[in-house]
Homo-oligomer: A and B are copies of this chain.
Amino acid sequence: MQESATPGGAPRRRVGRPRSGVLDRELIARASLKLVTSGGYTALTMSAVAKALGVSPSALYNHVESKQELMQWIQEIVMDGVDSSAFATHPLEQALLRWAASYRDIFVDHAPLIPLIAVLPVSGSPRTLQMYEEVAAGFTRAGWKQSQIIPSIVAIESFIFGSALDATAPLDIFDPGANAGNIPHFEGALAAQRATGNNSAEDAFITGLRAMITGLLANAELD
């Protein structure tokens, strides 16, 4: 992957101490995340990031290629908050429950990243890969057939992302409004769920997560 060597063989710049400059990746990423935390993703504009750093918007482009890339930096930091430690200490089923809950909780606050992540190559993020390694190790130790590990992980992740999106919905999202009347089964189910007093998104997440894990364990062929 190396370019052809310098023709003269002359020694090139070696060290290159940081060339002054107010900005670097870490600073930009942190400032951006701070903006997001305080004002949500609508507050994340290149101008706002620049302003927060006391710099002009165009200056950012010496360090980041695009806003997309900036969001990938944020995603890495956010992803780092997902707790996958349980795989080293707990049986697979419980580790999965903890991991998934932590994963979802974090992305509820970062829903706009989801369409990005779902499509993002994992290669750029060592910490994310490390997470996958821990999860995969958990499955392996539980005796899973190798070829079923990735599909199982991806399935759980898909459910997590969908659930995180769902959790940002308004509470009355299912209110049939003026169209009530000819949908008796649905209305009955709705009333019964409401009567439980549970938050609907939370309820669905727990129900779905338990079901998926139960089902994966039940359907799995061990090695």
Q: Which residues of A contact B (CB under 8 A)?
A: 111-112, 114-115, 118-124, 126, 129-130, 132-133, 135-137, 139-140, 145-163, 165-166, 168-170, 172-179, 182-186, 188-193, 195-196, 198, 200-201, 203-216, 218-219
Contacts and interface: CB of A to CB of B under 8 A. Distances in A.
Contacts of A149: 189, 192-193
B179 A129 contact: yes
B215 A130 contact: no
Given A151-B200, A207-B216, 14 more contacts: A119-B165, A119-B173, A121-B170, A121-B172, A121-B177, A123-B178, A123-B179, A137-B186, A151-B204, A152-B207, A155-B159, A155-B204, A162-B162, A212-B215
11 contacts: A121-B174, A136-B189, A146-B188, A146-B193, A149-B192, A151-B203, A152-B204, A154-B200, A155-B207, A207-B219, A211-B215
Tallying the copies of this chain within the complex gives 2
Contact of A161 (B165, B205, B207): B165
Nearest to A208: B155
A219 B208 contact: no
Contacts of A132: 174, 183, 186
A118 B215 contact: no
A67 B114 CA distance: 21
A204 B154 contact: yes
Contacts of A115: 111-112, 114-115, 165
Nearest to A165: B118
A114 B169 CA distance: 12
Contact of A146 (B123, B172, B189, B201): B189
A128 to B, nearest CB: 9
B118 A158 contact: no
Contacts of A140: 185, 188-189
B114 A165 contact: yes
